[in-house]
């Protein structure tokens, strides 16, 4: 026997279903008990639904469904009810497969009830009811689809709310000067992180207007992100790895600063501050590991002291005409890069070694420093690092043909 569509069904078919559904409405309490027994036996997660709520929900769904099955209209109250029930089950933690099985049981209970009523009242009309079976099953299947749609929508909203909450508490932990008691524990539970594990923090400043995909794994290490307007902050679970492993493996557009490994989620704010220093110590871009730029990071961390030190050490040189100033600064920078070896510096600078010596003597005279004194040499090195960071001048650490700006 071919299944009939709604168009194929004639008035006789509709009358049989309508009358049987009307009589079945009087048996809703009994139908609900049977349906609830089936659901609880076959859908374990329904134990999360309070008994009274499950009873009223099943009876309401049966009542609305039986009123709709005979002649569905454009105003499908049964679908609205199913969508509401689906959302509610998602909120309660019922599993989606259990929800769908519950609707499968409901169509079985309703169909058995219709067959029982027609068989008792007029067995000769069973054929008409059977020819409407596809119609009945389609109605209930549409209810199941509506319930599943409501379930998924509620689940998506829950995930969004959970993500927002996780972002909020992670940001609070990363920016707190001193984390509140219990905050690290809350973050650990929310993000499934080891409260006492080893972590590296990376601060990313990406090009404006360029969307980025934030990886959840870096070289096999789990990574969670806190997004902010100026970029993003990554918390990487190191395990037995080190921050240098992150620096070698992180491949993102933009500027990235990575702090040293810290132990425990409560130390993430310190890790974030150190990563910010790493980022500030190399503003030209790329991935910067704090441990590779400690001197620049030190001068960046205390800018006022760094400015005083630079003025005190190199003030007289900085007061020169730009041409001579840049020439002397570049000579000293290259000489230091060459481990204070005059001959090598002369080769880098494309000049005679005596020229390098004369320029170094000129610096000593202007600054009052003695380049043979380790303390004076340290002061000069720090002052050059401050200049290199502040004016973002790559040429202090590049070849001798580059011009200082």
How much is the mean pLDDT over the chain?
Answer: 83
Higher pLDDT, 5 or 159: 159
Q: How many Å separate Cα 131 from the centre of its chain?
A: 53
Residue 162 has pLDDT above 80, yes or no: no
Residue 391 has pLDDT above 80, yes or no: no
Instruction: Please give the pLDDT value at position 399.
Output: 40
Indicate the pTM of the whole model.
Answer: 0.52
Q: What letters, b where the CB count within 10 A reaches 16 and e where it falls short, cover 350-361?
A: eeeeeebeebbe
What is the DSSP code (8-state) at residue 124? G
Confidence band for 131, pLDDT divided at 50, 70 and 90: confident
Contact in structure between 177 and 183 (CB atoms under 8 Å): no
Rounded mean pLDDT, 193-203? 93
Instruction: Please give the pLDDT value at position 394.
Output: 38
Q: What count of other Cβ atoms lies within 10 Å of the Cβ of residue 194?
A: 13
Q: Is 321 exposed, middle or buried (0-12, 13-18, 19+ CB in 10 A)?
A: exposed
Residue 246 has pLDDT above 80, yes or no: yes
Alpha-carbon distances of 257 from 42, 57, 206, 209, 285, rounded to whole Å: 54, 55, 12, 20, 9
Residue 200 has pLDDT above 60, yes or no: yes
Enumerate the H helices of 124-254 as residue ranges. 126-130, 133-175, 183-191, 243-249
Select the highest-mean-pLDDT range: 85-94, 132-141, 302-311: 85-94
Residue 263 has pLDDT above 90, yes or no: yes
Residue 102 has pLDDT above 90, yes or no: yes
Instruction: Please give the pLDDT value at position 325.
Output: 92
Rounded mean pLDDT, 136-159? 85
Residue 176 has pLDDT above 80, yes or no: yes
Rounded mean pLDDT, 9-15? 66
Instruction: Identify any residues that bridge with 233 across adjacent strands, giving them in sequence order.
Output: 203, 226
Instruction: Please give the pLDDT value at position 2.
Output: 38
């Amino acid at each position: 026997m071919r299944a009939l569509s709604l168009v194929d069904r004639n008035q006789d078919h509709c009358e049989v279903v309508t009358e049987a559904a009307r009589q079945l409405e009087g048996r809703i309490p009994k139908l609900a008990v049977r349906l609830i027994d089936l659901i609880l036996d076959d859908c374990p997660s329904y134990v999360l639904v309070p008994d009274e709520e499950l009873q009223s929900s099943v009876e309401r769904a049966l009542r609305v469904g039986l009123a709709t099955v005979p002649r569905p209209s454009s105003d499908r109250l049964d679908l609205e009810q199913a969508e509401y029930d689906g959302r509610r089950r998602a909120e309660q933690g019922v599993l989606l497969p259990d929800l769908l099985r519950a609707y499968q049981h409901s169509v079985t209970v309703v169909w058995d009830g219709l067959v029982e009523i027609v068989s008792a009242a007029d067995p000769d009309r069973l054929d008409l009811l059977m020819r409407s079976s596809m119609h009945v099953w389609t109605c209930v299947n549409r209810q199941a689809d509506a319930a599943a749609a409501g379930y998924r929508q509620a689940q998506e909203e829950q995930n969004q709310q959970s993500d927002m909450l996780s972002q909020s508490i992670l940001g609070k932990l990363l920016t707190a000067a001193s984390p509140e008691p219990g905050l690290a524990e809350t973050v650990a539970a929310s993000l499934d992180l080891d409260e006492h594990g080893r972590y590296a923090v990376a601060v990313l400043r990406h090009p404006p207007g360029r969307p980025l995909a934030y990886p959840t794994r870096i070289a096999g290490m789990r990574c969670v992100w806190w997004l902010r307007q100026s970029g993003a902050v990554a918390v990487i679970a190191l395990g037995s790895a080190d921050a240098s492993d992150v620096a070698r493996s992180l491949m993102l557009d933009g500027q990235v600063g990575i702090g040293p490994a810290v132990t425990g989620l409560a130390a993430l704010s310190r890790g974030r501050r150190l990563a910010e220093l790493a980022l500030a110590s190399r503003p030209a871009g790329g991935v910067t590991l704090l441990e590779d730029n400690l001197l620049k990071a030190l001068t960046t961390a205390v800018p006022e002291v760094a400015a005083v030190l630079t003025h005190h050490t190199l003030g007289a040189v900085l007061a020169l005409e730009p041409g001579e100033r840049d020439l002397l600064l570049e000579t000293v920078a290259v000489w230091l890069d060459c481990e204070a070896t005059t001959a090598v510096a002369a080769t880098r600078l494309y000049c005679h070694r005596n020229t390098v010596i004369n320029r170094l003597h000129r610096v000593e005279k202007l600054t009052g420093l003695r380049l043979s004194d380790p303390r004076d040499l340290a002061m000069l090195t720090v002052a050059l690092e401050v200049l290199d960071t502040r004016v973002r001048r790559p040429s202090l650490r590049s070849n001798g043909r580059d011009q200082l700006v």
